[in-house]
Amino acid sequence: MTVDLDLSPGTRSLWAGKAIPWEHLEEEVALLWKMAADNMRIGQNMSVRTSVLNLVICAPSVARARYASNLLRDLLSTHIARVIILILEDDPDAPASIATWVTLRSFPVISDLTRHHFEQITVLLTGPVVQHSAALLQRLVRPDLPIYLWWLDEPPVSGDPLGSLAAISQRLIVDSASFQTPAPTLRLLASLLETYPACAISDLNWGRLTPLRQLVAQFFDGLEYRPYFEGIQRIEIEHAVLGTSASGSPVALSSTGISAAGEHPQRLQEPARALLMGGWLKERLTWRRIACSASCPGSSESLPPGAYHWCLENEAGQPTRIDIRPRHEGEVPPGTICLLRLTSRLADQQALFSISRLSGDSDHVLTSIELEQEQPRQRTLTLNEQRQESQLLVDELEITGHDDQFERILQELASLLA
């Protein structure tokens, strides 16, 4: 707990609102709406009350909950009906307790004459009561609206209480950029997808990959290079990991490249984006995994942290492979894909299609097409992939069904990482 959340009934927090006993929550919400309506009549303004979805935000700490609450200012276009912030302090030695706060969030829509309102309920659960968070949540949500669950940071490998919350939700949103152990966590998400098929799963990190995936698709849009797509034999991906400064001290960068209080914890290794890219390409190429031979470099346990190697074969039974490697980069955020290289062979002609990050530059890449006995064809392009977390979240909240492509990638990765 922290100083900006006082448990005493009636006290106020700048972001969480008024501390209210659990049994008086709905009564206080009704009072807040009445006060807002009265203020609007006196000021001759128009009050807009929205009714589209329940947004449930699960945070591991008060600091992360406050960070998420600040992001709500950027979510006006989603027309949220009720926001519930669950702070899950899962310390088994802590006493079981429930503390609640409530406030009404108000922002201008077109001008200050038209105000947009939605209620925010903040709930702090400690000790064993955390395991009953799903049952408590069902008493807080508006039952006539879908539940979108945004899980901040890395889900617990055990799956609890995430599984019980996913069972009552229509959508689960995560950000794999925050995963310290992406392999078991991605497998956990794939298992949740099988256990709770009614709950769609999406990843903000998948949205960050959209510009890069578009560049890959552009390689093979034209008739000249389209045949080379089926001839791809090897995929190489290098992702940035935390480097060191000239003095030898670690470079403190978050997964988004910004060191700010409340953002994702620092990551030395963050291969999740590289894994998603490899899974997407494998799925598009319909490759099948096969056992690596004893002489294969990936068959040993000597791969460094953040490195992966898979032996596969295409539909014609020809051997293919995927290699993911870390690269120490101090100038770009950890997790950034620094190099993507596709090696293809068509008849006797080999071709290399690559996208490489310019040194020390997070915004520009060099695309290259190299064919034997021909000059490379290169272009320097702006790659706008450093989108704000709130923008990525808005995109996810506008999806009403399953993101079928991402869920297929998740299942592909689960089989690769098994």
Helix (H) or strand (E) holding 409: helix 404-417
Burial environment of residue 111 by CB neighbours within 10 A (0 to 12, 13 to 18, 19 or more): exposed
Which tokens hold the place of 90?
A: 């899962």
What pLDDT is attached to residue 260?
A: 37
User: Which tokens belong to 155?
Assistant: 């889900």
User: How remote is the C-alpha of 16 from its chain's centroid?
Assistant: 24
Please check the confidence at residue 175 and state whether its pLDDT lies above 80.
yes
Mean pLDDT of 70-76: 78
Strands 54-59, 82-89: pairing is parallel
Chain segment 266-289, per-residue pLDDT in tens: 345 679 999 999 999 999 999 999
Its pTM stands at 0.88
Helix (H, G, I), strand (E, B) or coil at 31: helix
**Cβ atoms within 10 Å, residue 106:** 15
DSSP 363: S
Listed ranges 39-43, 248-252, 297-301, 394-398; the one with the highest mean pLDDT: 394-398
Picking from 22, 33, 236, the residue whose alpha carbon sits closest to that of residue 135 is: 22
> In the predicted model, what is the mean pLDDT of residues 200-215?
94
Q: Cis omega before residue 161 (within 30°)?
A: yes
Share of the chain above pLDDT 90, in %: 54
Q: How many Å apart are CA 323 and CA 320, to the nearest integer?
A: 10
The answer to whether the Cα torsion of 5, 11, 17, 23 is positive or negative is positive
Query: Contact 121/140 with Cβ under 8 angstroms?
Result: yes
The whole-number average pLDDT for the span 67-96 is 83
Q: In what order do the strands lie in the sheet with 288-289?
A: 288-289, 308-313, 319-329, 232-242, 337-346, 349-357, 364-371, 377-382
Q: What is the mean pLDDT of the chain?
A: 84
CA neighbours within 13 Å on the CB side: how many for 223? Answer: 0
Cα–Cα distance for residue pair 227/409, rounded to 1 Å? 23
